[in-house]
Amino acid sequence: MFAFALVSTPALAQSCLTPAEQRAAIAGSQAVPLAQAARNLRPEHRGEVVNARLCRTSGGQLVYLLTVVDRHGKVVRARFDAASGQLLQAR
């Protein structure tokens, strides 16, 4: 259901974590599971997650970067605080 990619987005994050680093961050309570964060999407943005990354910003914060295709085919990019799962931005 969820796909992970190891692509960096320079404007939002400096480096994305490897799958092993992602598991360690979740196990160490530095990040909530991806499914928990994705549930915090607003109803109008919910749809199929086509890309998901867990990245560390230049400030050291862990963020989830999701690309979602909503029910109407619109592509939504969402950014979540990985520690809390709270939605920071959706556009």
Instruction: Give the pLDDT of the chain (91 residues) as one tens digit per residue.
Output: 444 443 434 444 469 999 999 999 999 999 999 999 999 998 888 899 999 999 999 999 999 999 999 888 999 999 999 999 999 999 9
Please give the full DSSP string across 31-88, using - where no structure is assigned. Answer: S--HHHHHTTS-GGG-EEEEEEEEEE-TTS-EEEEEEEEETTS-EEEEEEETTT--EE
User: What does the block give as tokens for 22?
Assistant: 């992602």
Residue 91's contacts (CB-CB under 8 Å, 6 or more residues apart) are 76, 77
Domains of the chain plus CATH, in order, are: 15-90 (3.10.450)
Distance from chain centroid for Cα 48? 13
